[in-house]
Amino acid sequence: MEFIQKDEPIVEKPIMIAAMQDMGNVGSIVINFLNESLSTKPFRVCKTPFPTYIIDRGGYIDLPDEKWEYRFTEDLIIFGGGKGQPQSNNELNELCQDVIDVAKKYSVKFIYTLGGFHTNRIFGNSPKSFITTTSPELTKQMEALEVDITPEKSIITGFNGLVLGFAKKNGIHGIGMYGELNEPEIPQYRAAISIIKTLEKLTYRKLGDTSRLEMMAQEVERKFRN
């Protein structure tokens, strides 16, 4: 991985929200929404030397310009979004460690990550967001806030799970939020909205108007009904 520092963010003991594209595109939808809604500014970028996919232009291929940005706004650092995530364990571990190094450098007090939670439960237009944390003590605090805790043991793969492990290993408190979805292959805007609302509850801040995401959810539903 190549890491390029472009600027120094003006933040004081910020929280960090870090997530990458996963099933239902939930991680990317939320990160891209936050960056647009909060008008964040880029300060660091990471690039992979090996493409994780290619683009077929119809008879010839292009290589994607794969990169993931660190961005900031007032007391908040946001990482990820975009398309894809590293496919090799070495690159994924290197990226997670860089997130932790950035968190330490700027005295991040909390790391949130997020993604999709595949379930067979029929939830209509109201998916839940389930939470897991880096310690039993923190989970008890979350239960007091009446949020939904992950209902069973499971293995969380990819960046949106592994970064929590890196946070725990480095003594940084972390919370993972995973929105319910039934169809991982389809963009899940309602799961993203559920996560955004849960983030607002836990961070005590408004993150933006989600009505556009609701419209996109309706458009996806119309498309796949037809």
Q: Tally the C-alpha atoms within 13 A of residue 75's C-alpha that lie toward its C-beta.
A: 8
pTM to 2 decimal places: 0.92
How large is the average pLDDT for residues 96-110? 96
CATH code of the domain in which 163 resides: 3.40.50.10900
Please provide residue 65's backbone torsions phi and psi, each rounded to the nearest 5 degrees. Answer: -90, 80
Range of the domain at 205: 2-225
122 compared with 179, residue with greater pLDDT? 179
For the segment 193-210, what is each residue's pLDDT rounded down to a tens digit?
Answer: 999 999 999 999 999 999
Look at residue 226 in the predicted model and tell me its pLDDT.
62
Average pLDDT over residues 137-154: 90
Q: State the total domains in the chain.
A: 1
Residue pLDDT, tens place only, 49-84: 777 778 899 999 998 878 899 999 989 999 998 888
What does the DSSP 8-state code read for residue 160?
H
pLDDT reported for residue 41:
97
What average pLDDT does the segment 97-113 reach?
96
Q: Residue 42's closest CA among 53, 50, 31, 28?
A: 31
